[in-house]
Chains A and B, each alone.
Chain A
Amino acid sequence: AQSVTQLDSHVSVSEGTPVLLRCNYSSSYSPSLFWYVQHPNKGLQLLLKYTSAATLVKGINGFEAEFKKSETSFHLTKPSAHMSDAAEYFCVARMDSSYKLIFGSGTRLLVRP
């Protein structure tokens, strides 16, 4: 069965410092992988997606993620955190040709001034 593990429930960084949100997936196949962001009272927004093209994926707002098959990881990074990045982030997997999204439990990013 496919599953997604987000290793940190909370991450706190200072504004202007790098962000690293960790995600590992478990699958018998190579899944499609996504990162979504959820701001309070807003819908989930797609940050970026990996679909077996380039392993380094660039998304919106300066975020990027690297697919590492050998480590079954898809960590999300950003060089410099901004206050507006404070939100809940979800790593998500989807089997090829499927529609069902499998969500991790989420990581709450706190950005200190």
Chain B
Amino acid sequence: GAGVSQTPSNKVTEKGKYVELRCDPISGHTALYWYRQSLGQGPEFLIYFQGTGAADDSGLPNDRFFAVRPEGSVSTLKIQRTERGDSAVYLCASSPTGEGGEQFFGPGTRLTVL
């Protein structure tokens, strides 16, 4: 079956622009997560959705970052007024349930802010 997919695979933008990153989780998975992986580091948690609601957004670095999951499936991570420090690989994962389940990761979106 299809795994987690993310689009685009690469995104280059200019400082100050707005970007949207999309995640398609595995069908039927109720939990969805976003992580950010900066160069040379391990992924860091950003936000967790259970169904349509953000159950934990404590990892979002500031109010320029926002994520939605309106129908409980596809999720979009939105970054306003991008900064060079936002350059990273953004990873999405999904799991059948929220607690204790294995998280299945997508290939990531590499965001470069010039």
Report which A residues bind B (CB closer than 8 A): 4, 9, 32, 36, 41-46, 49, 90, 92, 97-106
Residues of B within 8 A of A90 (CB): 42-43
Among B91, B93, B102, B107, the most chain A Cβ lie within 10 Å of the Cβ of B107
Please tell me if B25 contacts chain A, counting CB pairs below 8 Å. Answer: no
Residues of B within 8 A of A101 (CB): 33, 35, 43, 45, 103
Say what secondary structure dominates the interface of chain A.
loop
Please pick, from A43, A44, A99, A104, the residue contacting B99 in the complex, using a CB distance under 8 A.
A99
| Given A49-B102, A97-B100, residue A43 in contact with residue B3 (CB < 8 A) | yes
Please pick, from B45, B95, B102, B107, the residue contacting A43 in the complex, using a CB distance under 8 A.
B107
Q: Are A99 and B3 in contact (CB under 8 A)?
A: no
- Nearest to A104 among chain B residues (CB) is B42
- Nearest-Cβ distance from residue A71 to partner chain B, whole angstroms: 21
Q: Are B102 and A99 in contact (CB under 8 A)?
A: no
Please pick, from B31, B98, B105, the residue contacting A44 in the complex, using a CB distance under 8 A.
B105
Q: List 17 A-B contacts (CB under 8 A).
A: A9-B40, A43-B4, A43-B107, A43-B108, A44-B91, A45-B105, A90-B42, A90-B43, A97-B100, A98-B99, A99-B95, A99-B98, A99-B100, A99-B103, A103-B42, A103-B44, A106-B40
Q: A44-B105, A105-B42 are in contact. List 14 more A-B contacts (CB 8 A).
A: A4-B42, A32-B100, A36-B105, A43-B4, A43-B107, A44-B43, A97-B100, A99-B48, A99-B98, A99-B99, A99-B100, A101-B103, A103-B43, A106-B41
**A-contacting residues, B56-114, CB 8 Å:** 56, 91, 93, 95, 98-100, 102-108
Q: Are A105 and B48 in contact (CB under 8 A)?
A: no
Residues of A within 8 A of B95 (CB): 99
- Nearest-Cβ distance from residue B75 to partner chain A, whole angstroms: 15
Residues of B within 8 A of A43 (CB): 3-4, 91, 104-108
The 10 closest A-B pairs by CB, nearest first: A103-B42, A44-B105, A43-B105, A43-B107, A103-B43, A100-B45, A105-B42, A43-B106, A99-B98, A106-B42
Residues of A within 8 A of B44 (CB): 103
